Structure 1
């Protein structure tokens, strides 16, 4: 018998909703709580220590709501906070809880998407500066070359719904040009920010038709399916009534208005009060 616990899904803001949408598609019957830390977003330019503190606070809040498993659907949080939480917090304070991220599942499969063995990573400054993707990908595919490009203007463009307008062309072309300048033979671009799937149509205007553009939602969802199969002791803890609840540390009305852009349907959130 499953109890009423939920899978927690966390992001610094809205982007994690693109991952959450993919998870629900794969596992529609499970219970979920989504938390966006919109009051303190974006995380991309914060230090490791600040991102760790913010992420841990939100993870512990989700634990307190009855989430024995939390997915960090945020590349910056996965890059700057996940390992410290897994190694230094869970074993001592929450031995029966688990926190998973988005970087490792992507690194485990990305080699299958490149013929030239060269991939480009587009992400926030925080994710790019962490070097998490080159480090993790090398563990699984040491022959794959990874080049990175930080794209600080993409998140603001997306959150203001300007990402598919002609005004976005300058920045999209600039970031792609800088990426290809590093590796003209790359044949796969990883969107290492969960906001970026929304800008794929704009990216494709400037890319060759045979270029692989890889977003993380389906990869993370598939990895979670495998994880639950391999960890039945965790799977049994999760309720399966299709319950979904959304929380934001920001203004729920603002969150709800923007969230549908990422989630594809209307959302009614509640506010999580920061301590």
Structure 2
């Protein structure tokens, strides 16, 4: 492991789409990507379980020397981030930082809608948390946020069935359910880092004039801005351009499926958190 790397955490593969976007913006840093595949998916777990799992993995990354960890997982950001930031970091890790994907997206969502009607596709856990509604309306109370959970999309994607004909039904039905909840939706946020892989199917059924918004580029720009504003964090980071991939699951499976998300071949190693 490379000391002073940026840690990127996800319950599985989805965070690789965020990592893929970060690299072109910040290529000089060293990174450790951690996929907790042995306990994925997180979407249907309770707050307490997601918090415990996420904290396990964040502390593992801290133990490798990471001073900054990105929760590239909407469920973990919704259910665990605030508690870690408020209750764990000040007491145990005052010099370290953990950032999520929800706040950066909420901060710029107004740039993508003119009707002030925004749709959100997410896991059951993210939708139930109402985190996007809360964060967006803190900043932009005039924006109406309409949500739809898509429980079949992650299994389709992780079984590499998302672009086959059988996926069309689940793409159409979730899109129809979302659009039936409000008129004049002109922007739909993909609030799960798996979902960029299903964009070709969504675009085939999306009505004209509705934009799809993925989070990777937004999070990458937000991280770049964060490091420019926090030199006390930035100067601690190692500039070697290294990329390390670890998983709590089977490395061979992770390498095969992970390459679909990352866009190029990867090589991972198996690790175990204390709780596993």
TM-score interval w.r.t. the shorter chain? over 0.9
1:120-135 pair list within 5 angstroms: 120-135=119-134
Change (3 A) 1:62 1:150: same
CA distance in 2, matches of 1:6, 1:243: 9
Whole-angstrom CA distance in 2 between matches of 1:158 and 1:83? 28
Q: CA deviation at 1:243?
A: 1.0
TM-superposition CA deviations, 1:169-216 (whole Å, max 9, x none):
111100001001101210000000000001011001111232110000
Superposition CA RMSD, Å: 0.9
Secondary structure of 2:33's aligned partner: strand
Instruction: Check conservation: 1:4, 1:240, Cα contact below 8 A.
Output: no
Task: State the match for 1:179 in structure 2.
Answer: 178
User: Is residue 60–residue 273 contact of structure 2 (8 Å, CA) maintained in 1?
Assistant: no
Q: How far apart, CA to CA, are the structure 2 residues paired with 1:125 and 1:63?
A: 29
2:225 aligned with 1:226 = yes
Q: Give the structure 2 partner of residue 87 of structure 1.
A: 86
Deviation at 1:164, TM superposition (A): 1.1
Q: Does 1:11 align with 2:35?
A: no
Distance 1:24 1:94 in 2: 26
Contact map agreement 2:119 2:187 (CA 8 A) in 1: yes
Give how far 1:139 is off.
1.0
Task: Give the alignment of 1:35-46 within 5 angstroms.
Answer: 35-46=34-45
Bigger shift: 200-209 or 91-100?
A: 200-209
Distance 2:208 2:67 in 1: 43
- Say if 1:5 and 1:68, in contact at 8 Å, map to a contact too: yes
Counterpart Cα distance in 1 of 2:184 and 2:47: 32
Distance 1:25 1:183 in 2: 37
Residues 160-171 of structure 1 correspond to what in structure 2 (within 5 A)?
A: 160-171=159-170
String of CA shifts for 1:237-267, please: whole Å, max 9, x gaps.
1001101100000011110010000001111
Runs (4+) of structure 1 exceeding 3 A deviation are none
Count of residue correspondences: 273
Q: Please tell me whether residue 56 in structure 1 is matched to residue 55 in structure 2.
A: yes
| Equivalent residue number for residue 147 of structure 1 | 146
Gaps of 5+ in 1: none
Q: Deviations over 1:17-59 (max 9, x none)?
A: 0000101110011000000000000000000000000000000
Where 1:133 maps in the other structure, the secondary structure is helix
Return the TM-score normalized by structure 1.
0.98
Cα displacement string for residues 44-76 of structure 1 (whole angstroms, at most 9, x for unaligned residues)? 000000000000000000000010000000000
Report the CA distance between 1:101 and its aligned residue: 0.1
Alpha-carbon distance between aligned partners in 1 of 2:66 and 2:187, rounded to the nearest angstrom: 35
The CA distance in 2 between the partners of 1:49 and 1:186, in whole Å, is 33
What SS does the corresponding residue of 1:178 show, helix, strand or coil? helix
Aligned to 2:271: 272
Gaps of at least 5 residues in structure 2 are: none
TM-score (norm 2): 0.98
**1:199 paired residue number:** 198
